[in-house]
Chain A
Amino acid sequence: VTAYSLRGKSAIVGLGTFGLGRAPGLSSMDLMAGATARAVPDAGLQLKDIDGICGGTLYHMFPTLSIGEYLGIRPTWACSDMTGGSSFLSHLLQATMAIEAGLCNTVLIAYGSNLKQAGTFGIHELPTFEKVYGLASPLPGYAMCAARHMYEYGTTREQMAEVAVAARQWAQLHPDATMKAPLTIADVLASPLVADPLSRLDCCLMSDGGAAVIVTSPDRAKSLKHRPVYFLGGAGASWSREVSQIPDFCTTPTAECAPRAFEMAGVTTNDVDVLQLYDAFTINVIMFLEDMGFCRKGEGGAFVSGGRIAPGGALPVNTNGGGLSFAHPGMYGLFTLIEAAEQLRGNAGARQIEGAEIAIAHGNGCTFSHEFTAVLGAASTV
């Protein structure tokens, strides 16, 4: 048995989001439940059909217990692999293994956060040698990766701004996106620096919100409400936890996990129709495209320029507007799966990529610490 045996062995059948942007009075678990209450009927199922749970927040030590209790589900299998914002993509792989092994039939992957109301990330455990220096957020670490990328490869703030502008243009096509006002490269460059070289508009939003995805076996998927979106491949890689331990500030673990995921799926970069990349900061998209092999290392800045990843460009990236302009409730990973699935269902409205058959959903955890690449496909690819 190899990892290839998992290709096509699960399908995403239900999608839900809830309370995106600002959700006064609601707890993180309320937001998780609101999204679940949409994802379950979206699949044409009921809560009692769920027998597996995946999830995790920055605030819950026992997330699958809290989720199961809140929803009144007693799962036969559960998993809360915690790798930061990429966790939910890892959960898709775990769920696929569990379904294939017969441990459960239908898995809920759920997330909720009231980050905007709370006004803090609220991460339980910060690295010792970052707390010593007063670091309380991932911002300075990413800023230093961006600075190093500029130093080694001549990447410019204008090139990073291209990522933010493309995201905003996509967000304007999504009815639920938070930020829709027109945005230019000059606007990004003129916005205040928060951690050099990153300006406020190089940074993702701080939102409330919940997200939920239902995963089941390919057999069951065929009889449900929407076109199944198949798991074709998935792989994660973790290289560090804290900033000082990142081996190379210009290369992320994506360089390891994306090739493994592509190989499992039997695809190359040429086969990919649309990508959803966790854009906590603009530099992330540039580095992920390099590390996935869409361009060579160091050429990501030039690659994203000229609107290449924007609506009408050659390579559509973050078609919901991403964490930069759609929503970012602390951990964004599950939203990459949702938008990838919307595109493969053909349900993405004004932002639909015509004939999309292969989509990438890519999650990022902590500070380029853990990366997870998932390859999803329409029925024609299985």
Chain B
Amino acid sequence: MTMPTSPMDGIGPEGQFWAHLRAGKLMIQHSSSTGEYVFYPRLIAPGSGADDLEFVEVSGFGTIYSTTIMRRPAKHGGDDNVAVVDLDEGVRMLTRVVDCAPDEVHIGMRVQAVIAGVDFGTYANSEQPIVLFRPAGLRAGAVS
């Protein structure tokens, strides 16, 4: 098996995903031989084992597959959305929806990716932005 030659030597699939986000691009792995998109980033595609995965830029548009509101007291930051989005390219991502109230997020809602720094999780208050989503069609603006 010939593994793909990475344009970023010494950086694995996951590291490349984060590097693309730092450059402002949402890139998802794609296999030319099978036509499938793969997320999360891997060395080979699940199921097919395709070893020609390459990062390609995607539309960032998707649909809410499911969503919940994590209930928290206001003193601990208040309610927060957690959602799962089906990207139009066919991969499913866990995420949070921003720029709208948690109770406005609903299954079937069209959303668009936004790359932003966050104050929660692994990359809280760091230089590493992550993928969030906002209602599709919303005018560009500051991420709340």
Contact = CB atoms under 8 A, between A and B. Distances in A.
B31 interface: no
Given A147-B68, A196-B68, A249-B65, A132 B82 contact: no
Given A128-B14, A132-B122, A194-B71, A147 B95 contact: no
A62 interface: no
B141 to A, nearest CB: 22
B93 interface: yes
Interface stretch (A172-180, A237-245, A287-295): A237-245
Given A144-B84, A243-B84, A244-B92, A132 B68 contact: no
Interface stretch (A28-36, A111-119, A133-141, A296-304): A133-141
A91 B40 CA distance: 30
Nearest to B40: A129
B14 A147 contact: no
A133 to B, nearest CB: 5
Interface string A185-219: 00000001111111000000000000000000000
A143 interface: yes
Given A132-B123, A132-B130, A134-B121, A244 B69 contact: no
Nearest to A137: B70
A228 B83 CA distance: 47
B69 A195 contact: yes
Contact of A133 (B14, B67, B107, B120): B120
Given A133-B96, A143-B68, A193-B71, A128 B40 contact: yes
Nearest to A196: B69
Nearest to B72: A194
Interface string A244-271: 1100010000000000000000000000
Interface string A310-349: 0000000000000000000000000000000000000000
Contacts of A135: 82, 94, 121
Nearest to A152: B107
B118 to A, nearest CB: 8
Interface in B54-74: 65-71
17 contacts: A129-B94, A130-B94, A131-B121, A132-B121, A133-B82, A133-B130, A147-B67, A151-B107, A193-B69, A195-B82, A196-B69, A197-B68, A243-B94, A244-B92, A245-B92, A249-B65, A249-B84
Contacts, number: 76
B66 A249 contact: yes
A145 to B, nearest CB: 7
B102 to A, nearest CB: 9
Given A129-B94, A133-B95, A195 B68 contact: yes
Contacts of A144: 66-68, 82-84
A349 B118 CA distance: 55
B71 A244 contact: no
A140 B95 CA distance: 11
Contacts of B71: 192-196
Contacts of B96: 133
Interface string B34-67: 0000011000000000000000000000000111
Interface string B106-128: 01100000000000111110000
B19 to A, nearest CB: 15
Given A128-B14, A130-B94, A133-B82, A148 B66 contact: yes
Q: Which 7 A-B pairs have the closest CB atoms?
A: A144-B66, A134-B121, A134-B120, A143-B68, A148-B66, A244-B94, A140-B82
A139 B82 CA distance: 11
Which of A128, A148, A196, A243 has the most chain B CB atoms closer than 10 A to its own CB? Answer: A196
A170 B67 CA distance: 32
Nearest to A140: B82
A242 B94 contact: yes
Which of A139, A143, A198 has the most chain B CB atoms closer than 10 A to its own CB? Answer: A143
A140 B70 contact: yes
A260 B50 CA distance: 30
Nearest to B107: A151
A192 B71 CA distance: 9
Given A195-B71, A244-B92, 9 more contacts: A128-B14, A133-B82, A133-B130, A134-B121, A135-B82, A145-B66, A193-B71, A195-B69, A196-B69
Interface string B8-38: 0000001000000000000000000000000
Contacts of A244: 39-40, 84, 92-94
Which of A128, A133, A140, A194 has the most chain B CB atoms closer than 10 A to its own CB? Answer: A133
Nearest to B124: A134
Contact of B122 (A131, A147, A242, A249): A131
Contacts of A134: 120-121, 124
A131 B70 CA distance: 15
A151 B16 CA distance: 36
